[in-house]
Chains A and B, each alone.
Chain A
Amino acid sequence: MEAVRVENLVKIYHGGIRAVDGVSFTINEEEIFGFLGPNGAGKSTTIKCIIGLVRPTAGRIWIFGVDVERDPGVVKRSIGYAAQETAVDDQLTGWENLYLQGRFHHLSPKEIRARGEEVLRLFGLWERRNDLAQTYSGGMLKRLDIACALIHRPRILFLDEPTLGLDVQTRKAIWDYIRKLRDEHKMTIFLTTHYMEEADELSDRVAIIDHGKILALDKPGALKAALGGDLITLKFASQDERLPALLSAIRALPGVRDLRSSPDGIHWIWVEQRGDQLIPELVQLALSYGIQVDSVRLKRPTLDDVYLHYTGREIREAEASREEHVRARILQRRVRR
């Protein structure tokens, strides 16, 4: 079954900004779907339209077959949402935040107690549940925010840049939680990010979005493959008269697209994908022809290359200044108090 179906979504804000410009896609059940794009691409706006926080200018949206505009109440019960900006009330404890969220989803105190303990343990916050959220670190706040989004056992979880501004360890930990939610709790997950590795590591499928339009949508591997696949550089230890036969055998391997050789004995092999899995096979093959392999190198196109290809922008430039901006804003909030 389809978890989400979006058809020709358009959002034009007051002032004429076309934040989302004719976006269509579907998300399958139990899929982790990534939305990758630079600042202002329209990622948050798309999420907000889907969950009914922002009214679309045009287009239609269904969640588990229910029309979002016609039945917002039903839809809200089946979704969890953790916004880009961590929305935790830091004058309340972790538990109070979670409890209130449960009440706002019309759960009974009993349900909240059972479920609340489960999610807080899952996110490693159980021991700190009675401390004011003020005393939490940025990573803990983010985890609490996601935990709150899970209290009512949503079928689909929307995470808007879940690891923005977090350090590498915390980011990896959150990735693990997200995988666990899908693998063990059968949840569908929609996440936006502008971190390349995040989209690559986590998503089953990725949509690259810029200026409100989807530029590419596929499995991360397929997106990379479309860009030319992996490149294996190979050198043999010895020159042998059986080399031409070996080279034609390599050419005939499934997945090999092209093979070129330089006069000084370097061979480049273009592979559609999974070049790493091909390497042992190549070595075996060479050995069977009695030829020793001297060195092998693998270069895989990264999602970076894909991104650059489609948006014409390097994501890293934007990333640094963006991070600073977020940190400054968090700091500002603290000071204001």
Chain B
Amino acid sequence: MIIMDVVYVAWRELLKFFRARVRLLVTVIQPLIWLGLMGNMMQGLTQNPFIERLLGTTSYLAFMTPGIILMTVLFGGVFSGLSIVWDRRIGYLEKLLAAPISRAAIPLGKMVASAIQGGFQGLLILLIALGLGVRFSTGLAGVLFALLVAMTFSLILSGFSLTLASRIKSQETLMALVNFFTMPLMFTSNALFPREAMPAWLSAIAQINLVTHAVTPIRQVLLFGWDWSSMWVSLVVIGGLALLMAFLAGQSFLRATAE
């Protein structure tokens, strides 16, 4: 049963995720710092009608909350790839391959674990934002929707890092390579700044950036309300990419272990 195999591969990752207290604490404190510090700092700057029009809201904190969620998920996705490199190094991967489990379940399980972690982190950030006074216009349904998008986005990132990890057998190289993509991806998106405030060239990049595609629907639903006509393209892009990455991660893992 491939589904049970996926469940138990994911379960192992989650067990370790929730056991690593320090890492867990960091995942709470980091967004707290971002939101508390940067959100407040920018609040003063953004308190004028012009910028408020660009943001579409009077609260920069509310504006940046979806961005912080995706940033956390983005940088968390790397760990999937790292975990498989680690498993290979300690010989655990070989042990898995010697067991009668479906091989594809190994990368898929790690992706699922990453998505659940992403959802959990997203939830924490939303709670922090709530504590800091941000209000979500669509209530619980909107929150669930936002988490679902964040989890889908997490699948893309973990799938990407797993695809690379099948080839790259050093943690340092993998880390460097993934960051090489994620950093620019983050800062050429509308996660922290509205596209309307960007120079034309950057705005053009931001428009096709997949982070933007994930941020836009979350921001739309949390801040403004359900508007499927402005969201469906982004949702299709994110969903499609997640499927594609799952496929690629599976393929490259199967190829790498065919020897």
**Do A and B truly interact?**
yes
Which residues of A approach B to under 8 Å, CB–CB? 51-55, 73, 76-77, 79, 81, 83, 85-89, 91-92, 96, 100-101, 103-106, 148, 333
Interface residues of A, dominant DSSP: loop
Bound complex: CA of A73 vs CA of B97, how far in Å? 11
B92 contacts the other chain (Cβ, under 8 Å)?
yes
Taking a contact as CB atoms closer than 8 A, the residue among B15, B91, B96 that contacts A104 in the complex is B96
**Given the complex, which residues of A lie within 8 Å of B90, measured CB to CB?**
85, 87-89, 333
Which residues of B approach A to under 8 Å, CB–CB? 1, 4-5, 8, 11-12, 15-16, 19-20, 89-92, 94-101, 258-259
**Interface contact A106-B98, CB-CB below 8 Å:** no
**Interface contact A104-B99, CB-CB below 8 Å:** yes
Task: Give B21 Cβ to nearest chain A Cβ, in Å.
Answer: 12
**Given the complex, which residues of A lie within 8 Å of B95, measured CB to CB?**
81, 83, 87, 101, 148
**Interface contact A86-B5, CB-CB below 8 Å:** no
Taking a contact as CB atoms closer than 8 A, the residue among A52, A77, A86 that contacts B91 in the complex is A86
Bound complex: CA of A100 vs CA of B15, how far in Å? 11
Taking a contact as CB atoms closer than 8 A, the residue among A55, A76, A96 that contacts B99 in the complex is A76
Bound complex: CA of A130 vs CA of B218, how far in Å? 42
Q: A87-B91, A104-B99 are in contact. List 9 more A-B contacts (CB 8 A).
A: A51-B98, A53-B97, A53-B98, A83-B95, A86-B91, A89-B90, A89-B92, A103-B8, A106-B1
**Given the complex, which residues of B lie within 8 Å of A88, measured CB to CB?**
90, 92
Known: A104-B8, A106-B1. A87 touches B100 (CB 8 A): no
How many A-B pairs fall under 8 Å by CB?
A: 63
**Interface contact A87-B1, CB-CB below 8 Å:** no
**Given the complex, which residues of B lie within 8 Å of A96, measured CB to CB?**
12, 15
* 6 smallest beta-carbon distances between A and B, as pairs: A87-B91, A104-B99, A76-B100, A103-B8, A85-B91, A87-B95
**Interface contact A81-B16, CB-CB below 8 Å:** no
Residue of A nearest to B89 (CB): A333
**Interface contact B98-A81, CB-CB below 8 Å:** yes
**Interface contact A92-B15, CB-CB below 8 Å:** yes
Q: List 24 A-B contacts (CB under 8 A).
A: A51-B98, A53-B94, A53-B97, A54-B259, A73-B100, A76-B100, A81-B98, A83-B94, A86-B91, A87-B91, A87-B94, A88-B92, A89-B12, A89-B16, A89-B92, A91-B16, A92-B16, A100-B11, A100-B12, A103-B8, A105-B100, A106-B101, A148-B95, A333-B89
Task: Give B85 Cβ to nearest chain A Cβ, in Å.
Answer: 12
**Interface contact A91-B19, CB-CB below 8 Å:** yes
**Given the complex, which residues of A lie within 8 Å of B97, measured CB to CB?**
53
Task: Give B148 Cβ to nearest chain A Cβ, in Å.
Answer: 27
**Interface contact B92-A104, CB-CB below 8 Å:** no
Task: Give B168 Cβ to nearest chain A Cβ, in Å.
Answer: 17
**Given the complex, which residues of B lie within 8 Å of A103, measured CB to CB?**
4, 8
Taking a contact as CB atoms closer than 8 A, the residue among A52, A87, A106 that contacts B4 in the complex is A106
Bound complex: CA of A52 vs CA of B97, how far in Å? 9
**Given the complex, which residues of B lie within 8 Å of A333, measured CB to CB?**
89-90
**Given the complex, which residues of B lie within 8 Å of A148, measured CB to CB?**
95
**Interface contact B91-A101, CB-CB below 8 Å:** no
Known: A92-B16, A96-B15, A106-B4. A101 touches B94 (CB 8 A): no
**Given the complex, which residues of A lie within 8 Å of B11, measured CB to CB?**
100
**Given the complex, which residues of A lie within 8 Å of B100, measured CB to CB?**
73, 76-77, 104-106
Among B8, B15, B90, B95, residue most surrounded by chain A Cβ atoms (within 10 Å): B95
Bound complex: CA of A179 vs CA of B8, how far in Å? 33
Residue of B nearest to A145 (CB): B95
Bound complex: CA of A202 vs CA of B226, how far in Å? 72
**Given the complex, which residues of B lie within 8 Å of A105, measured CB to CB?**
99-100
**Given the complex, which residues of B lie within 8 Å of A85, measured CB to CB?**
90-91
Residue of B nearest to A54 (CB): B259
Bound complex: CA of A299 vs CA of B95, how far in Å? 44
Residue of B nearest to A87 (CB): B91
Bound complex: CA of A55 vs CA of B97, how far in Å? 13
**Interface contact B94-A104, CB-CB below 8 Å:** no
Residue of A nearest to B90 (CB): A87
Bound complex: CA of A83 vs CA of B258, how far in Å? 19
**Given the complex, which residues of B lie within 8 Å of A101, measured CB to CB?**
95, 99
Among B11, B89, B94, residue most surrounded by chain A Cβ atoms (within 10 Å): B94
**Given the complex, which residues of B lie within 8 Å of A92, measured CB to CB?**
12, 15-16
Bound complex: CA of A197 vs CA of B4, how far in Å? 44
**Given the complex, which residues of B lie within 8 Å of A54, measured CB to CB?**
259
Bound complex: CA of A76 vs CA of B15, how far in Å? 26
**Interface contact A55-B258, CB-CB below 8 Å:** yes
Residue of B nearest to A158 (CB): B98
Residue of A nearest to B1 (CB): A106
Bound complex: CA of A53 vs CA of B100, how far in Å? 12
